[in-house]
Structure 1
């Protein structure tokens, strides 16, 4: 059922959905260095970092379907030591990826139960994929929908879910799908939820489009020094630390079988600036290590087919546009999309040296930045009410589009830190 809901939401964007499903199926069921049981356990512990109950239970069923030992589902203590050793980088990648370094890679590749580099790349891709998928499920309200329909019961038939994961070539990109519509019952269930973190006031679409147009017209006539661009990046970092953080959901209880795969639930995202990490020497500069110039080559050398699949998926999400905003058509949305992508990576201390970060403040109002930050950093706290109250003039497909950018920008950010650490270890 979870995959049915996921596919239904992704069907707004068939081109992206095709790349997503190819990648998802390849890392779980395609050729690769890891056995099927290892893949599913890694996916389960990754999903556990954000307490994504429904995703974890679906993966448990698929684990059994693919020959996994039921004893392993007793929790972290029941899985092989080699898999247990992976948990530390799972925790760091999910919440503070800038703390990852070559020492973690070295510890995993040496000694008893060591990981080969190809196995480790496969494992890391699984971790970052399921961290980000958890973000997408929460930020689109899919987990809440399942809770309402099944009264907090998460039992899935993985084989029937796989059969549903087929794109519908007849559905137009922006056609409505049932999952996006809220019933009165859904709204009633929100009455006991925490107040929405998203403010009432938003910049009108017409104003936003005028700002994008002004920025496009001025881009050729203004040049900024590296020092000025660096200051603007730091300003965004500092401002993001002051945004409202969603409270813990009072009805969130770690079920016994889910909690067995979650250690240190109190270990969560810490603002890059508040960790004392904000300095030019510690900031991750994309010009020094990027996916296109460095990460892609490393993944391709160790996990060939998936390197190409990831590259296609990143590019599709980054470039996807229908040139619409709400009821407006023939709109160049590139600046808005890039602002979202770069803001998300900024939350992880990743800097694009040639980007003017002041554009983020001009194009993303505080309510949207607040939603994005919580979706990326605290997804298990995001409620359906938050989703409903942000981007109110956007079409439902456009709101899902923003969440796709959140998914991919976060995944790439985590992956960049991991792959850079591997490169440092290898050299």
Structure 2
């Protein structure tokens, strides 16, 4: 893996090279084939494609990287049990009242064997999960507050203590879901309304939206057709052996009637299960997972406290510090995250490299992170006031209850360009939260 010293140098070189590529048409065709393949896998495995993936699909190169990371942290081998991962995702999404993600992960939580009682409120969850509440709300609203004390409280809590590997995976899930709330809100401020409260995009509540690109075609039991139905469908296949067909024809009418009756009973039970689960999720209120509703984003630049110093990338960067640490504590996740960061800034786009860098650096700026080698006068030059207000709203308080603070009009901007802006904000926020948490872990380790 090549690690560059400047976050934007690599993307800029790659973009220039792409513009001179004589096979650009072939690149476009390849990307269309890639997104078609992703959608095909999703349709085969779940018979639907979720709303978030549909938005990201305008940039298939990025979508593939996103899906791979999502699948890895939520479904692949790791120190945390699967129900705990989805519950942590619920806690993260609830901080921004993102009903879409809360309901999505509530369904996934039940699908992988989670305890229904935990969905009543945060107090119903195990004590070790509740311990994440402090670092969860800090990363979500004021990431600069994340400190060594948060790490120490989790790793030295006696019977409920976390291992370092578990904590790193939990932090990645928290940061991932916080930033995804930003994308959901930025893509459609109304997307957290009641229209999505039952299940995303009309899909069944046990639908897993983000693992389609990873070959995960395990259909949930409730979506698996009964064996009798499969047998009947196969009997219509002309390629079947004639002998088998004759044997089926000779079956008695009484046997068919009994089979049809069993099939109807099975389908009725399955439909009842789905309706009951949807009803449970419909009444899952995101606020029940929030312990401090008054804790919210504050202007970092206007804080008077001297002990909240600006996070300088020259002192602790993703390339020089964060990547190696996280990859050592949580195998391979560093490579997957790094691929996401590189992918989003190298996407073919009408946005100039300078504008992309301004969006990225301004997102970091409102979260307390600064680059000493960047002229922030470029931000004022490239981003008009409404643009900056939009970036701050999406990055810092992506909450449907604050939709009025999202003033940017997209009428003159192509959908793919709008989505690219939201992806840049999302990934910049993700990296910012990771930098704060990994720096705190580093400080704890050297004590």
TM-score tier by shorter-chain length is: 0.7 to 0.9
* Corresponding residue to 1:358 among 370, 377, 381: 377
Q: Which residue is 1:21 aligned to?
A: 67
Distance across 1 between alignment mates of 2:299 and 2:162: 31
* Corresponding residue to 1:341 among 355, 360, 378: 360
Distance across 2 between alignment mates of 1:319 and 1:40: 30
Distance across 1 between alignment mates of 2:80 and 2:194: 36
* Corresponding residue to 1:135 among 182, 193, 201: 182
Q: Which residue is 1:116 aligned to?
A: 163
Distance across 1 between alignment mates of 2:192 and 2:87: 22
- Do the aligned partners of 1:7 and 1:165 also contact (CA within 8 Å) in 2? no
Please state if 1:410 is matched with 2:429.
yes
- Do the aligned partners of 2:344 and 2:423 also contact (CA within 8 Å) in 1? yes
Please state if 1:304 is matched with 2:331.
yes
Distance across 2 between alignment mates of 1:286 and 1:20: 24
Which structure 2 segments of 5+ residues have no match?
1-45, 215-281
SS at match of 2:144: helix
**Given the two structures, how large is their TM-score scaled by the length of structure 1?**
0.72
Q: Which residue is 1:380 aligned to?
A: 399
Distance across 2 between alignment mates of 1:96 and 1:287: 21
Shift of the 282–275 alpha-carbon distance from structure 1 to 2, 3 Å rule, reads same
Shift of the 25–98 alpha-carbon distance from structure 1 to 2, 3 Å rule, reads same
Which structure 1 segments of 5+ residues have no match?
168-253, 326-332
- Do the aligned partners of 1:72 and 1:78 also contact (CA within 8 Å) in 2? yes
SS at match of 1:299: helix
Distance across 2 between alignment mates of 1:381 and 1:163: 23
After the TM superposition, which residues 2-401 of structure 1 pair with which residues of structure 2 at under 5 Å, given as runs? 4-110=50-156, 111-141=158-188, 144-145=190-191, 147=193, 149=195, 152-154=197-199, 156-162=203-209, 165-166=212-213, 257-277=285-305, 282-322=309-349, 324=350, 333-381=352-400, 389-401=408-420
Give the CA deviation at 1:101: 1.1
Q: Which residue is 2:231 aligned to?
A: none
Structure 1 or 2, whichever has the larger Rg, is 2
- Do the aligned partners of 1:34 and 1:122 also contact (CA within 8 Å) in 2? yes
SS at match of 1:379: coil
Please state if 1:419 is matched with 2:438.
yes
Distance across 2 between alignment mates of 1:119 and 1:284: 25
Summarize deviations over 1:56-83 as a string: whole Å, max 9, x none: 0111111111111112112111111000
Shift of the 85–117 alpha-carbon distance from structure 1 to 2, 3 Å rule, reads same
Distance across 2 between alignment mates of 1:256 and 1:73: 7
SS at match of 2:390: helix
Distance across 2 between alignment mates of 1:163 and 1:139: 19
Point out the structure with the larger helix share. Answer: 2
Summarize deviations over 1:25-63 as a string: whole Å, max 9, x none: 111001111000110110000000000112101111111
- How many equivalent pairs are there? 330
- Do the aligned partners of 2:107 and 2:207 also contact (CA within 8 Å) in 1? no
SS at match of 1:119: helix
